[in-house]
Structure 1
Amino acid sequence: MKKPYLPFKLPNDKLIDKERLFNKVIQANKEIAIYNEKLKSSKVRPDLLMDLFSLKEALESSKIEGIQATIDEMLEYRSDEKNVTDDIKEVTNYYIALQEGVYGLKILPLSSRLIKNLHKTLLGGGIRGGSKTPGEFRSVQNYIGTQGSKIENASYIPPEPQLVDSFMSNLDEFMNENDDINDLIKIALIHAQFETIHPFLDGNGRIGRILIPLYLYNKGFISSANLFVSESLEKDKYKYYDLLNATRFNVTDKEDDEDQYEKDIVAVRKIYSDWIDFFLSACINESHKLIDKIEKINELYNVAMDKSTKIINSNKMRQVIDVIFEFPIFTKNKIKSRMTIPVTTLDGYLKKLVEAKIIYSDEKPRNRKYYFYDLINILR
């Protein structure tokens, strides 16, 4: 039977082939910088874009774990908080944990204490996994395998529970250490190490992916916690799993066989560089996609604002359009919760917007919902 894995402690300069990764790091840095500038200069408020992108990230990261929900379902739920399913709860918890992480960094370092808080939120509220000691590191042995499989058939057995605190303390130090390792390479190592330690009984993958934007934001590499890579990871999820699993390589003890040790170190460096290269590609791909989305949303904002103000040229109409960009599926009550406007005025505005086919209505006599499909389609 396989034994629990004993990871490397970090930092470990034997894991990085800087020469191989040099060009990819430069490319990733460039694309992320362009994305950051696009976000900061957006005509749609950056915090509103971030909110929508965070929701999409929550969906994609949860999808990797088999949680099924769509952007349409999440936007529907946000419009009135009705018709909630277990999957919607889990995605919502992820979204909330990500926001809590950003606020938490104002008072806490990025460390085990904050990570435990995020885990408690992720598995809170009576969802699946809620019995798996939310907010606490595991005190029993866990393992990764197919559903229903036994530990002897595991694809990976993480470190023994009594070692979790020690490995997480080492990871805490590494995350907060000022060194000369590029931040993108470093978060790739952090993510792999966290998944290798697997400190919780459930939710490790999702917490590990939440750490990516939080770490980069905490280091000042990005202006907000806005770099989301889960969509790319989900599209290649079996490669993602395989590359992570490959990093759990047992190196021969140098004293037992020095020649084999040297060969193993060469192999480990290639394995880690394969993982980091894949991660950097995900960063580049997602930066491209996010840049494209920002450009399309800004173009749509100009068109929607121009069309709507030609119908009714007022500051109130402009405010309504701003709310619609925040909530692409909405009710009258949602708009009234975001701005002060008489009901009769709002009714008139919405009627005009529907007639102009800027938005669409389900035409229900009560609790009517409106759909801004042009924005929803960009987010899908």
Structure 2
Amino acid sequence: MFIGTGGGRVTEARFVPPPPGDQLRAGVDAWAEWINQSDSYPLIIKMALGHYQFETLHPFNDGNGRLGRLVCVLQLARAKELRFPLLNLSPWLERRRREYQDHLLQCSVTGEFDAWIRFFSEAARAQATRAVAKIEALHDWRDHALALIRGSGASGRLISAITEDLIGYPLLTPKTAANRYDATYPGANKAIDRLVQLGILRERTGRRYGRVFAAPEVLRIIESD
């Protein structure tokens, strides 16, 4: 396995990680031990260094970048800096994929980490700011949706409860709604139909049975970069 050839030969690769075997296993074990150690490193620096080392080891045929970025989020959660895994570094880094790879390579070539740490820190700052903006947008949407329900004359605990929770559960079926809110199936179905009429929910399957409903505006906010 090698990186950066675009289908070419290994001699043209930008970087060749350790091959499968004892050396790679020892490297991953050492990385895992270091990641889990308590030390005096600021957390953002430890995340940057740990991410570099994982990507350098490149232990899997696919998904190393995604898994490496997930580890960063787990580090934040373990340190109780995040209550929920809301920080997604991937969109920012993927838009700068070449620069991202260049920084990682320069760490290996020069042994200098300052530029990489600054780059990684900017990714974390930008995506944390973006996450806060998304949360605020979701709260604004929820307030607007609840006001729309009140203004339409729609009433009932179930309609309001479903709407309150759509920012966390933007996809649902009448059965899951009935179970989640301890309601009858007909009652859940009626509440969902009312939310469809108000434009808060939209049916996604086009079927008469096994229907799935979604809050399209919530999904748009969540999926936006």
TM-score normalized with structure 2 length:
0.85
Q: Which residue of 1 aligns with 2:17?
A: 158
Structure 1 unaligned segments of length 5 or more: list them. 1-141, 250-266
Cα deviation 1:102-140 (Å, max 9, x = unaligned): xxxxxxxxxxxxxxxxxxxxxxxxxxxxxxxxxxxxxxx
Is the counterpart of residue 182 in structure 1 residue 42 in structure 2?
yes
**In the alignment, is the contact (CA less than 8 A) between 2:159 and 2:195 conserved in 1?**
no
Percentage of matched positions with identical amino acids: 25
Q: Which residue of 1 aligns with 2:210?
A: 367
Report SS of the residue matched to 2:208. coil
Is the counterpart of residue 227 in structure 1 residue 87 in structure 2?
yes
1:232 maps to amino acid: W
Q: Which residue of 1 aligns with 2:131?
A: 290
* Change beyond 3 A, Cα 1:169–1:297: same
Cα deviation 1:34-83 (Å, max 9, x = unaligned): xxxxxxxxxxxxxxxxxxxxxxxxxxxxxxxxxxxxxxxxxxxxxxxxxx
Q: Which residue of 2 aligns with 1:247?
A: 107
Q: Which residue of 2 aligns with 1:149?
A: 8
Rounded Cα–Cα distance in structure 2 between residues aligned with 1:204 and 1:355: 44
Q: Which residue of 2 aligns with 1:350?
A: 192
Rounded Cα–Cα distance in structure 1 between residues aligned with 2:30 and 2:185: 57
Give how far 1:147 is off. 4.6
Q: Which residue of 1 aligns with 2:65?
A: 205
1:21-100 equivalence runs, <5 A: none
Rounded Cα–Cα distance in structure 2 between residues aligned with 1:287 and 1:188: 15
Report SS of the residue matched to 1:325. coil
* Change beyond 3 A, Cα 1:374–1:151: same
Rounded Cα–Cα distance in structure 1 between residues aligned with 2:79 and 2:196: 45
Q: Which residue of 1 aligns with 2:122?
A: 281
* Change beyond 3 A, Cα 1:368–1:198: closer
* Change beyond 3 A, Cα 1:206–1:374: closer
Report SS of the residue matched to 2:189. helix
Give how far 1:232 is off. 0.6
Give how far 1:309 is off. 4.4
Rounded Cα–Cα distance in structure 2 between residues aligned with 1:193 and 1:166: 13
Give how far 1:242 is off. 1.5
Give how far 1:323 is off. 4.5
Rounded Cα–Cα distance in structure 2 between residues aligned with 1:224 and 1:326: 12
Rounded Cα–Cα distance in structure 1 between residues aligned with 2:25 and 2:175: 48
Give how far 1:238 is off. 1.4
Report SS of the residue matched to 1:326. coil
Cα deviation 1:137-164 (Å, max 9, x = unaligned): xxxxx32233533322222111353322
Give how far 1:370 is off. 2.8
Rounded Cα–Cα distance in structure 2 between residues aligned with 1:364 and 1:203: 35
TM-score normalized with structure 1 length:
0.53
2:180 maps to amino acid: R
**In the alignment, is the contact (CA less than 8 A) between 1:323 and 1:335 conserved in 2?**
no
Give how far 1:371 is off. 3.3
Rounded Cα–Cα distance in structure 1 between residues aligned with 2:66 and 2:193: 42
Q: Which has the higher contact order (CA 8 A, sep 6+)?
A: 1
Q: Which residue of 2 aligns with 1:217?
A: 77
**In the alignment, is the contact (CA less than 8 A) between 1:309 and 1:318 conserved in 2?**
no
**In the alignment, is the contact (CA less than 8 A) between 2:203 and 2:213 conserved in 1?**
yes
Rounded Cα–Cα distance in structure 1 between residues aligned with 2:187 and 2:150: 15
**In the alignment, is the contact (CA less than 8 A) between 1:188 and 1:279 conserved in 2?**
yes
Rounded Cα–Cα distance in structure 1 between residues aligned with 2:29 and 2:219: 42
Cα deviation 1:7-32 (Å, max 9, x = unaligned): xxxxxxxxxxxxxxxxxxxxxxxxxx
* Change beyond 3 A, Cα 1:348–1:224: closer
Is the counterpart of residue 268 in structure 1 residue 117 in structure 2?
no
